[in-house]
Amino acid sequence: MAKNLNLIVCGAGGRMGTAVVRAIQQSAGTALVAAIDKAGSPRLGKDAGEISAAGNLGITVSDNIEPYLKPGTVIIDFTRPEASLTYIRAAAKKAVPIVVGTTGFDPRQTAQIKRLSRRTPALLSANTSLGVNVLVSLLGTAAKLLGDDYDVEIVEAHHRFKKDAPSGTALALGRAIAGALNRDLDKVSIHGRKGIVGERSEKEIALLSVRAGDIVGEHTVIFGGIGERLEFVHRAHSRDTFAHGAIRAARWLARQNAGLYGMQDVLRL
């Protein structure tokens, strides 16, 4: 009989953390062994299953990850950049693989993750949806075929509680397109228009953000040419898609050597 994949969920009381806890119960061959939340959280000491509406699981939410960092275990983390770095450091210390779905890392934090990944397998992804990562691959091909004659606009929409903008996914989509067109996204991207801005420049890539209600996640990429428009749209109907994608990533990461990976590696794209 195949051995269970033992999973630690960080941010177990958050919107994504509770989705991952539920997804683990729905996934054959996986077991939740620890649920971690921030110090001072009102969820500490409660059953992780009851918090996530997965039923009583006998797993008490804790703020201490150290006792659970054992061989054969993988961490899934959906928290905030500062918290994620704490968990990555702990994972690197014990060589425990970690899947990180947190977004909003600054360049300094990203560099730290790269250094820490030399000591343990780490997967960093702005979006663990399989559909989005297939889209990233398709966009590079489309951009190469269409070339500079088509204007590129990316519109992303998320719930009112999201703290970073543009979304990490929109940035990933933008980088895929910019790379295919030999552009530097940091130099050609714009994030809004107001007033008399003049004619659109040939190289710019717009990343426009919408924050409203409880939108889970929607990304639209527009290639606008003279006489036609090509659009790619991805809509996440629920957080379950990210949760199941993270579990698939954890299965794959458990078999890898130390290093920094992404969902494109998992899908061999």
DSSP assignment string, 6-59: EEEEETTTSHHHHHHHHHHHHSTTEEEEEEE--TT-TTTTSBHHHHTTS---S-
pLDDT at 55: 85
| Number of C-beta neighbours around residue 160 at 10 A | 9
- Distance between CA atoms of residues 209 and 69, nearest Å: 38
For residue 166, whether the previous peptide bond is cis, meaning omega lies within 30 degrees of 0, is yes
pTM for this structure?
0.86
pLDDT band at 213 (very low <50, low <70, confident <90, very high): very high
More confident residue, 104 or 186: 186
Q: H or E segment at 109?
A: helix 107-116
CATH of the domain spanning 130-236: 3.30.360.10
Catalytic residue among 158, 219, 234, 244: 158
| Number of C-beta neighbours around residue 93 at 10 A | 13
Per-residue exposure over 176-209, b if at least 16 CB sit within 10 Å of its own CB, e if not: bbbebbebebeebbeeeeeeeeeeeeeeebbbbb
Catalytic residue among 38, 46, 94, 162: 162
Tell me the average pLDDT of the chain.
Answer: 95
Domain 5-124+239-266 - what CATH class?
alpha beta
Structure tokens at 232: 């790619």
pLDDT at 163: 87
Rounded (10°) angle between helices 240-253 and 15-26: 70
Extents of the domains making up the chain: 5-124+239-266, 130-236
Q: In the predicted model, what is the mean pLDDT of residues 91-102?
A: 97
pLDDT band at 2 (very low <50, low <70, confident <90, very high): low
pLDDT band at 219 (very low <50, low <70, confident <90, very high): very high
DSSP label at 61?
E
User: Using an 8 Å Cβ cutoff, are 206 and 153 in contact?
Assistant: yes
pLDDT band at 103 (very low <50, low <70, confident <90, very high): confident
pLDDT band at 149 (very low <50, low <70, confident <90, very high): very high
Whether residue 1 is predicted with pLDDT greater than 70 in this model: the reply is no
Q: Is 159 a catalytic residue?
A: no
Q: In the predicted model, what is the mean pLDDT of residues 176-196?
A: 96
Q: Is 203 a catalytic residue?
A: no
